[in-house]
Amino acid sequence: MTTATVWDGAHVVAEYVNGSLARKYIYGPGMDNPVAMVTVSGQTETWYTYFADALGSMRLLGRDARPCVSTV
């Protein structure tokens, strides 16, 4: 398996596995402000949203409209 990472400055914006898009990353304004990760499988995209605490540290990862699927 070959994984290629696409960077835009200091941010990872996409990952390709064996030449196919596997993940996309979306950032908000400012430095180190991830908003969402999108996994891609064929024509299906699944959205994961990052949630920060009061200090701006990423603490939760939610999927679509569902509650927390992972803690960071």
Q: What DSSP state is assigned to residue 46?
A: E
Report the domain count for the chain: 1
The pLDDT tens digits for 9-50 are 889 999 999 999 999 999 988 777 889 999 999 999 999 998
* Enclosing domain of residue 19: 3-71
Find out whether 61 and 68 touch, Cβ atoms under 8 Å. yes
The backbone region for 35, taken as left when phi is positive above 0, alpha when psi lies in -120 to 50, beta otherwise, is alpha
Structure token pair of residue 26: 């979306």
pLDDT band at 66 (very low <50, low <70, confident <90, very high): low
| Cα dihedral sign, 9-31-2-42 | negative
What 3-state DSSP class applies to 43?
coil
